[in-house]
Amino acid sequence: MSDESILETRGLTKAFGGFTAIKDVDLKVRRHGFHALIGPNGAGKSTFFNLITRFLTPTEGTILYKGQDISRVKAARLPDLGILRSFQISAVFPRLTLLENVRLALQHGKGVSYRFWQNETSLNELNDRAESLLADVGLGGRGAEPAGTLPYGSKRALELATTLAFEPELMLLDEPMAGLGTEDIGRIADLLEKASHGRTILMVEHNMHVVARLCDRITVLARGEVLAEGTYAEVSSDPRVIESYVGRSDAA
């Protein structure tokens, strides 16, 4: 069983004072799967996400990655293990150029990042790789532009290029479609579909069209607990799931 799932949580619990945001969650993410985590507002998706990305520390329970307990590992160590996260609000470095943004991911692997005495032109050997990653997400030839001036959809694409530069085994995406227009959603979904080949993706997402199109497995969270799990067809016809969404504007 354990070689089938790449990421697993066992009895994961997070309490803030007296409030238990995540209660005893067991979740398995299959290797090379595209897994969605959905649920109504306040279900604890973001808390859960921040736990497995190590931005929060669990009160109880373990997080296993390839069978190894990572529930106490530093967030900055995860990329070395092959895990990379994204953020709800697009996470680019606005005052750096597109090229520099992508290069920061490539630079990490080179082990030169503490060299404050070395000229940055030594990083130029990474430029070709960075340019080709930019081209892959439709930002080819724009490497010299500052990232801060990009429209929102393109920032998302840039973020994806930076993430892919790492060639992560497991990508954790926090609402990748949040704040995007219809056109951009299609574009980013295409890119994600392409990126999902040969790797595992777990994403929190509200947009059900995207979830239905991309994901092969869906976990529904409600009030901090797993409510249902299965394929889109199974989950969307589950009466408990429907009930938890009823009367909520974010069900669409």
Partner 1 sequence: MFANPRKILIGLALLAIALAAPAFVYPVLLMKVLCFALFASAFNLLLGFAGILSFGHAMFFGSAAYVSAQTIKVLGWPTELGILAGGAIAAVLGLVVGALCIRRKGIYMTMITLAFAQMLFFVFMSAPFTGGENGLQPVPRRAILGMIDISNDRVLYYVVLAIFLAGFGLIYRVIHSPFGQVLKAIRDNEPRAISLGYDVDRFKLIAFVLSAGLSGIAGATKAVIFQLASLTDVHWGMSGEVILMTLVGGIGSIFGPLLGAAFIVGMQNQLAGLGEWVLVVQGLIFMTLVMVLRAGIMGLMSDLSRWVSKLRASR
Stretch that binds partner 1, among 2-10, 40-48, 69-77, 203-211 (CB under 8 A): 69-77
Choice from 28, 45, 103, 217 touching partner 1 (CB under 8 A): 103
Give the whole-angstrom CA distance, residue 205 versus residue 207.
Answer: 6
Q: Does 72 bind partner 1 (CB under 8 A)?
A: no
Phi-psi region of 228 (alpha: psi -120 to 50; beta: other; left: phi over 0): beta
Q: Does 19 bind partner 1 (CB under 8 A)?
A: no
Token pair 């609000």 in the structure block, residue? 89
List binders of partner 1 among 142-201 (CB under 8 A): 162, 166
Task: Work out how close the CB of 127 gets to partner 1 at its nearest, in angstroms, rounded to a whole number.
Answer: 13
**Cβ atoms within 10 Å, residue 100:** 19
* String of DSSP letters for 19-39: EEEEEEEEEEEETT-EEEEE-
Stretch that binds partner 1, among 32-40, 86-94, 192-200, 217-225 (CB under 8 A): 86-94
- The answer to whether the beta carbons of residues 83 and 169 sit under 8 Å apart is yes
Task: Work out how close the CB of 122 gets to partner 1 at its nearest, in angstroms, rounded to a whole number.
Answer: 7
Task: Work out how close the CB of 65 gets to partner 1 at its nearest, in angstroms, rounded to a whole number.
Answer: 15
The conformation of residue 70, written as its DSSP 8-state character, comes to: -
Token pair 């030839």 in the structure block, residue? 141
Q: Does 73 bind partner 1 (CB under 8 A)?
A: no
List binders of partner 1 among 104-133 (CB under 8 A): 104-105, 107-108, 110, 112-123
Q: Which is nearer to partner 1, 87 or 212 (CB)?
A: 87
Q: Which is nearer to partner 1, 9 or 162 (CB)?
A: 162
Sheet containing 217-222: give its strands across.
83-85, 170-174, 200-204, 34-38, 217-222, 225-230
Q: Which is nearer to partner 1, 19 or 117 (CB)?
A: 117
Residues 6+ apart with CB under 8 A from 230: 217, 218, 238
**Chain positions contacting partner 1, by CB under 8 A:** 53, 55, 74-80, 84-87, 91-96, 100, 103-105, 107-108, 110, 112-123, 162, 166
